[in-house]
Chains A and B, each alone.
Chain A
Amino acid sequence: MATTAQPRQPHPPAATTDTVVLVGTTKGLFTLRSADRDGFALAGPDFPGEEVYATCIDTRGGRTRLFAGSVSNHWGPVLRRSDDLGATWTEDERAALHFPADSEAALARIWQLTPGPVDEPDVVYAGVEPAALFRSDDGGRTFSLVRGLWDHPHRPRWEPGGGGLCLHTVLVHPTDPRRLLVAISAAGVYRSEDGGATWEAANRGIAVPWVPEGEDLEFGQCVHKVARDAGDPERLYLQHHGGIFRSDDGGRTWQPMTGIAGMDFGFPVVAHPTRPGIAYLLPLESDAFRCTPGGRCVVWRTTDAGASWQPLTTGLPQEHAHLTVLRDGFTTDGCDPAGLYFGTRTGEVYGSTDDGETWRLIAHHLPPVLSVRAAPVVG
């Protein structure tokens, strides 16, 4: 299908910058850095022994600030930030991110750290477990619970997915920052059009096959990830626990995308950072097995907003590769051509710098990968 939307402005050419890839694992944070997106130097781990589910590379406001949300099995969750590309990390003496006393909740895990609008560089959002949205207005030093979502009448009936009751996706509308979209496993998608004061469930069309009469379920969908199209901000791509969906109206309604035979399950979905209509999936075989089908690692790409999908395999292992990529384990660096990076639960990181045409292994023998984020930074 055609689109008339304008492509998003890419980041500056990579030649003037370094590319940083943050790899969050079950045993700490690793950093890959390259001047040419070819040879990557590996550093780490930072925070050894801590699970790093969320990182963020925030390049707004004329500076680069890194965030890392980690959790220790013993000592609980921690939010840290770095203004020197990870050479040093700061944890505020007073917890930046915590539930207020009257909520009777305690922060279990930080699942998502998302920059706010481009022209509001001090606004940062955090999605957490138990499912809640937090907002910072001071560059991530302190966060406040977004009460409108926390007080939503659906919340007492939200059920956790396999990873816990987590708010794992935060999308800020690129032209209207009052419009927010979040996704929760396993509550589904919620939208706000007033900066988070009020929210409505936005799952119309996302069928839930494991629930009787799940065709019309208002909420309870196990949405794994949502990505926004580069050219049309109303167009969204969604990987569900069972199926892939697209919205052309900002999430108000969803339609099934053309399926990839035998591969309804998967965790991540990534939109091309600058070119409309292009998105990527890493499907897995069944919710029981959750590994790359047939021992072949395949990235699937659409260039027509989900009407058809093409397999990308060059450089990816095609036999005995039983890999799993989690919802935040696949990302883009925002450049054009796109750098694409994904990490596996078996500790490999693959990268592509040509929109996914070719891939190569850029790190291996790491602990299980939970999250990957990448961006060009001033070297």
Chain B
Amino acid sequence: MTVPMLVRVRVPTQLRDVAGGTRAVDVEVATAPATVADVLDALARLRPALERRVRDEQGRVRQHVNVFVGADNIRDRDGTATPLRPGEELSIVPAVSGG
């Protein structure tokens, strides 16, 4: 039996206008434990303009965007296959880059 899981996605200041003006979006994922991909898929259904700033249309996390599960950058773990434990949050953070 699958148990829905509620995950809080923290949104950086620059993306709050496409997140409905909020600092965090709560998304419901149908499967538990959920992966980062599951959360971002759910975010794509709820807030597509926010999600596409995190991943391109082929599902790849954009080069200068970091996604954290708790304190861990998913690039240091299993990428979008990184699992979330119940209660863990996902944070979208712009990389320190640009010109």
Contact = CB atoms under 8 A, between A and B. Distances in A.
Interface of A: 49, 72-76, 91-95, 98-99, 101, 104-107
Given A73-B97, A74-B98, A75-B65, A93 B58 contact: no
Given A93-B49, A95-B52, A74 B94 contact: yes
Q: Chain A's interface: helix, strand, loop or mixed, by majority?
A: loop
B60 interface: yes
B52 A76 contact: yes
A75 B57 contact: no
Interface of B: 14-15, 18, 48-49, 52-53, 56-58, 60, 62, 64-65, 94-95, 97-99
A107 B48 CA distance: 16
13 contacts: A73-B64, A73-B98, A74-B95, A74-B97, A75-B15, A75-B94, A91-B18, A95-B49, A98-B52, A99-B57, A104-B58, A105-B58, A107-B57
A332 to B, nearest CB: 31
Contact of A76 (B14, B53, B97, B99): B53
A106 B99 CA distance: 23
What secondary structure prevails in chain B residues at the interface with A? Answer: loop
B98 A75 contact: no
Nearest to B18: A91
A129 to B, nearest CB: 13
A76 B56 CA distance: 8
A295 B7 CA distance: 59
A75 B62 contact: yes
A147 B58 CA distance: 18
A248 B48 CA distance: 47
B37 to A, nearest CB: 15
Contact of A95 (B57, B65, B94, B99): B57
A107 B49 CA distance: 14
A91 B94 CA distance: 21
Contacts of B52: 76, 95, 98
Given A74-B98, A75-B53, A93-B49, A99 B58 contact: yes
Contacts of A105: 58
Contacts of A107: 56-57
B80 to A, nearest CB: 15
A74 B62 contact: yes
B14 A75 contact: yes
A98 B57 contact: yes
Contacts of B94: 74-75
B64 A74 contact: yes
Nearest to A75: B53
Nearest to B15: A75
Contacts of A93: 48-49
B95 A101 contact: no
Contacts of A76: 52-53, 56, 62
B20 to A, nearest CB: 11
Contacts of B58: 99, 101, 104-106
